[in-house]
Amino acid sequence: PTVELDDVTEVSNYVAATLHGVSRMRGGFPLSLRLIREMHAILLKSGRGAAKQPGEFRRSQNWIGGTRPGNALFVPPPPNRLDECLDALERFLHSEDAALPPLIRAGLAHVHFETIHPFLDGNGRLGRLLITLILCEAGVLREPILYLSLFLKSRRDDYYRLLQEVRQAGTWETWMEFFLTGVAETAEQAGATARDLIAMFDAHRQQIAGLGRAASSALRLHELMQASPIVTIQTVCEKLSISFPTASTALENLVKIGVVRETTGRQRGRIYAYSDYLALLDRGTDPLPP
């Protein structure tokens, strides 16, 4: 499948932001406003939204739906109330109420974050990432493999309606029923995606093995691109400690057999993507509108 460069960048940034958050927490750093800003900076470091203050809480009014605050579906708190709202969110994230199961905490925190809408762009992606990190921190997930985006995209109208009903009428029970259904369906989908990834990697390794003497460097490159699905020749040189011609040849070999796609169409500054891999990831992280 063809994946647009902006989509490739967006998914890659999402994965990088997720891994950064998990790594920081495993190192003892708390899930906090500072960590949320760090992840946002990675999420919007390139591609769509890169000009909308990555890593910085907004200093202007935003709105959801409509063309201005006056006809919007929902208007988040004004900038001068942002600090108190975010402080309340951080206190909730740090609260140690043993009676509140992690899944319930994650569902409540998601609504809290989406209602504050603290960034100019990327709130939806980061709000869903927050769910995953809360569950990782609580030990419910060993790895950050729960991506709710596909479920929420398929139930987009219900998602926005239920968020708005919570804000207007406090219908938390209905929201939580929807949220927990999404978690259950997404967990099943994650298992299917993992199986599909394993099968795809195996099939591509078999293709690469057919390259003969060129297979050795191509297999090393394939392994690298499972961790870094977007690369340049220079990054391959650095990460595999190989020469520029060797890296270039390995990439072109993967392009020829359809494992990798060159995304720019340029002769210089080429960017290569593991498109099938990104398409599978995109199946679970395809972002809703911010």
Active-site annotation, residues: 117
Q: In terms of Cα–Cα distance, which of 38, 178, 169, 175 is closest to 111?
A: 175
DSSP-derived pairing of the beta strands 272-273 and 230-231: antiparallel
**Length of the chain (residues):** 290
DSSP collapsed to 3 states, the chain:
CCCCHHHHHHHHHHHHHHHHHHHHHHCCCCCCHHHHHHHHHHHCCCCCCCCCCCCCCCCCCCCECCCCHHHCCECCCCHHHHHHHHHHHHHHHHCCCCCCCHHHHHHHHHHHHHHHCCCCCCHHHHHHHHHHHHHHHCCCCCCCCCCCHHHHHHCHHHHHHHHHHHHHHCCHHHHHHHHHHHHHHHHHHHHHHHHHHHHHHHHHHHHHHCCHHHHHHHHHHHHHHHHCCEECHHHHHHHHCCCHHHHHHHHHHHHHCCCCEECCCCCCCCCEECHHHHHHHHHHHCCCCC
Place of tokens 């309606």: 161
The angle subtended at Cα 79 by Cα 39 and Cα 131, nearest 5°, is: 35
